[in-house]
A and B are shown apart, each in its own frame.
Chain A
Amino acid sequence: MDRIQIPATSRSPLVDFDFEAGHLLLRGESYPEDAAAFYGPLLQALRRCLETDGAPLTFDVALSYFNSSSAKALMNLFMPLEDAAADGRPVTIRWLYAEGDESIAEAGEDFAADFSHARFEMVQETAA
């Protein structure tokens, strides 16, 4: 599987989906004008990856802001991961949030409620 790397813009996050290494990353802010167009290809790539093998997968999400369309897109990314975890694949989602960022932490807790098979970790990042 090809690695997907997209640099961050002011409206979209940095994307680094390294399927070979089993490590996916989103970092930055996410409020693209067309969230479906931005996240659609990522979701398709993720699905293809999940079809191929059963290697462990870690998904780091470090967003400081995302709009409701992006929240929906994230949910769409999380669902197949949860399904794969239900089928026995080790999947870890690490929800990274800045120290004291309660809005993002709260959103992470909301997402955590959707997972029962995949590991969902809340990771507080201290300011560099």
Chain B
Amino acid sequence: MSGETLAPAPQPGGARRGGSLRGAGPMRRGDALAGLGFAEVPTTQDGGADTMRPGALRGAARGRNLDGLAHALFLRLFPVIAAMVLATQVVIAWVNYGDQIRLTGERAQMMADMTARALARPDWTTSHGPQLQALALDPAFRVATLRDAAGNVVGRLGEEPRGRGFERIQVGSEIEAGPPGQPAGSLTLVLSAEALRANAEKQFVMVLGASLALMLAFALALRLAVRRHVLAPLTRLLSAMGRVEHKEWVTVDLAGRQRPSREIADISSAFNRMVEGLKSGDEARHLLAELERTHARLAEANGLVMESLGYASRIQQAVLPGPGALRGPTLEVAVLWEPLHVVGGDYFWLEEIDGLCIVVVADCTGHGVPGAFLTLIVATALDRILHDQGLRRPDDILAALDGVVRTRLRQETGQVAGRAAEAPEGSDDGLDCGVCVLDRASRILHFAGAGLALTVLDGAGVTRIKGRRHGLGYRRTGREEALSGTAVPLADGQTFFLMTDGVSDQMGGASRRLLGHRGVAEILARHRDLPLDGQVAALEAALAAHRGPEPRRDDMTLVAFRPRTG
């Protein structure tokens, strides 16, 4: 095996360069930034549209950046403080050392002086042993040298120390054995300063160690406090901000072990208040949007119902007689038909058959759509009764109508008295009805009513002819009165009114009371001299005035007719 097969030789020229570009080519700018620890920062190149992009704050919320700041702070502060403390201690140690050196020098001088005095005798050049040996008792003693006046060494004790000059203290003293002012010789004493230096060194090391320990403790305590009361609360605040961006309404906990510093606590509580505000605003916006959607759905549903009711109303009005029915040279007729809700349970019939004018007014139970269903049954029944069966007596007509309604609504089954409401699925509906048959030939008006009265207005006043109290239909209770007719001879100046209870049941006035039959009669009498149409219009206006702001309670129908004399 050769080396060539193990590692392919690099290809010369471009190929090598290309490979290098692909593999470890120059870094792009972004890589360099990433390598330096720069996180992606949202840009606003597109006009700031993404400045509040979800997560835009998250980069800033990374704890690393805050920690980095703290690191930098400590790395810069620590050496400065350490150097200052250290320098102070060194200066103190240096001054101490200088003091020690000075004191030792003074002591050495004193020792030299004392020994020189002790030696100041005539025979000092020969007997000096004990004095020098006394000097050697000092532990710092190194060497003592005695010289005569000519400078020759007379005596020596100890050895000349080697080493650096600053580690020894050398003093000298004159020996005056003769007359004063004429030195007989000199004593030179050398003491070692090594112990002092060692002491100073020891002191310096101790101070250094203590300073370092103190600095370390201080740094750690500060760092811990900052982390606990500044960095951690800030991180929590930032991460909460990030979540709030995503409409997650979190607040920051201000209590607990990592209690934030006062400024951050203030910011945090302001943030919490802002979150509460945003949250309630957001909830209100949601509720409002929900309300708008519901309102739109309701409006749509109501539109459909009203459209449907409008259609139903066209059908119901097609079933009602036209306004011109019965009107002629001998009979004045006016009609008021006002359903409460577009369609209604009130119905009227106007027809002239065989020279008889037949007027029927019916008030079916309920109003609106359920009432309107019943009016169709009544319309069909009356058609059969008047045209097929040919009934002409009002009480007969009512009895037949009663029968048809019961049969149609299947009220004859389960007719045990008083059990009606225990079978709510069955019908217990019916109608109030009044029938007038006007026979102009014999000048008699025949009337029969079931729950509906005939009002007669003439020169003498208002008369109300009540029919039977119970209406038609409903389940049998066994207490119904028999139907009976009334004959009213026609006279001049009479006007007849058949009206449903919706006309008189008008709640209103200062005492919020029903207008009543009497109230209606008074209004009609007040306008007796008007043409019939005008009288009915005046009544309608007076009813509206009585109601005022109160809503109507029921459908209302009034048929008025006035036979003309002549």
Interchain CB contact under 8 A, B511 and A31: no
Asked if B516 is at the interface (CB within 8 A of a chain A CB), the reply is yes
Asked if B4 is at the interface (CB within 8 A of a chain A CB), the reply is no
| Chain B residues whose C-beta falls within 8 Å of the C-beta of A72 in the assembled complex | 365, 428, 430, 471, 474
Asked if A9 is at the interface (CB within 8 A of a chain B CB), the reply is no
| Chain B residues whose C-beta falls within 8 Å of the C-beta of A69 in the assembled complex | 365-366
Contact of A103 among B428, B432, B505, B511 (CB under 8 A): B505
Interface size on A, as a range, is 20 to 34
Q: Given A64-B513, A103-B516 in contact, is the A40-B479 Cβ separation under 8 Å?
A: no
Cα distance A73–B415 when bound, in Å? 16
Interchain CB contact under 8 A, B505 and A40: no
Interfacial residues of chain B within 461-483, with CB under 8 A of chain A in the complex: 469, 471, 474, 477, 479
| Chain A residues whose C-beta falls within 8 Å of the C-beta of B368 in the assembled complex | 33
Chain B nearest CB, measured from A29 CB (Å) = 7
Contact of B421 among A29, A44, A104, A106 (CB under 8 A): A44
Interchain CB contact under 8 A, B428 and A64: no
Interfacial residues of chain B within 269-311, with CB under 8 A of chain A in the complex: none
Interchain CB contact under 8 A, B469 and A110: yes
Q: Given A67-B553, A69-B366, A103-B505 in contact, is the A44-B422 Cβ separation under 8 Å?
A: yes
Cα distance A104–B424 when bound, in Å? 28
Cα distance A37–B424 when bound, in Å? 8
Q: Given A67-B554, A72-B474, A83-B418 in contact, is the A100-B424 Cβ separation under 8 Å?
A: no
Asked if B517 is at the interface (CB within 8 A of a chain A CB), the reply is yes
| Chain A residues whose C-beta falls within 8 Å of the C-beta of B100 in the assembled complex | none
Residue of A nearest to B466 (CB): A110
Interchain CB contact under 8 A, B507 and A29: yes
Contact of A68 among B422, B451, B477, B479 (CB under 8 A): B451
Asked if A121 is at the interface (CB within 8 A of a chain B CB), the reply is no
Chain B nearest CB, measured from A77 CB (Å) = 9
Asked if A98 is at the interface (CB within 8 A of a chain B CB), the reply is yes
Cα distance A6–B514 when bound, in Å? 24
| Chain A residues whose C-beta falls within 8 Å of the C-beta of B421 in the assembled complex | 36, 39-40, 43-44, 73, 76
Q: Which of B366, B504, B507 has the most CB of A within 10 A?
A: B366
Interchain CB contact under 8 A, B504 and A103: yes
Main secondary structure of the interface of B (DSSP, over half): loop
Interfacial residues of chain A within 80-128, with CB under 8 A of chain B in the complex: 80, 83, 98, 100-104, 106, 110, 113-114, 127
| Chain A residues whose C-beta falls within 8 Å of the C-beta of B513 in the assembled complex | 64, 98, 100-101, 103
Chain B nearest CB, measured from A67 CB (Å) = 6
Interchain CB contact under 8 A, B504 and A65: no
Asked if B363 is at the interface (CB within 8 A of a chain A CB), the reply is yes
Cα distance A80–B504 when bound, in Å? 30
Interfacial residues of chain B within 527-566, with CB under 8 A of chain A in the complex: 553-554
Interchain CB contact under 8 A, A113 and B469: yes
Cα distance A64–B365 when bound, in Å? 19
Interfacial residues of chain A within 20-76, with CB under 8 A of chain B in the complex: 29, 31, 33, 35-37, 39-40, 43-44, 47, 64-65, 67-69, 72-73, 75-76
Asked if B391 is at the interface (CB within 8 A of a chain A CB), the reply is no
| Chain B residues whose C-beta falls within 8 Å of the C-beta of A29 in the assembled complex | 507
Chain B nearest CB, measured from A73 CB (Å) = 8
Could you mark each residue 499-526 of chain B with 1 if its beta carbon is under 8 Å from any beta carbon of chain A, else 0? Answer: 0010011010001111111100000000
Asked if B85 is at the interface (CB within 8 A of a chain A CB), the reply is no
Q: Given A31-B554, A36-B428, A103-B514 in contact, is the A64-B507 Cβ separation under 8 Å?
A: yes
| Chain B residues whose C-beta falls within 8 Å of the C-beta of A36 in the assembled complex | 421, 424, 428
| Chain B residues whose C-beta falls within 8 Å of the C-beta of A113 in the assembled complex | 469
Asked if B82 is at the interface (CB within 8 A of a chain A CB), the reply is no
Asked if B420 is at the interface (CB within 8 A of a chain A CB), the reply is yes
Interchain CB contact under 8 A, B420 and A68: no
Chain A nearest CB, measured from B500 CB (Å) = 9
Chain B nearest CB, measured from A46 CB (Å) = 10
Could you mark each residue 436-464 of chain B with 1 if its beta carbon is under 8 Å from any beta carbon of chain A, else 0? Answer: 00000000000000010000000000000
Could you mark each residue 353-369 of chain B with 1 if its beta carbon is under 8 Å from any beta carbon of chain A, else 0? Answer: 00000000001011010
| Chain A residues whose C-beta falls within 8 Å of the C-beta of B507 in the assembled complex | 29, 64-65
Chain A nearest CB, measured from B345 CB (Å) = 9
With A72-B428, A103-B504, A103-B516 already in contact, 15 other A-B pairs whose C-beta atoms are closer than 8 Å = A31-B554, A33-B368, A36-B424, A43-B422, A64-B514, A67-B505, A68-B365, A72-B365, A75-B477, A79-B479, A101-B514, A102-B516, A103-B513, A114-B479, A127-B511
A to B CB contacts below 8 Å, 9 in the list: A36-B421, A40-B421, A40-B424, A43-B422, A47-B422, A65-B514, A76-B421, A101-B516, A102-B516
Nearest first, the 3 closest Cβ-Cβ pairs linking A and B are A103-B516, A103-B514, A43-B421
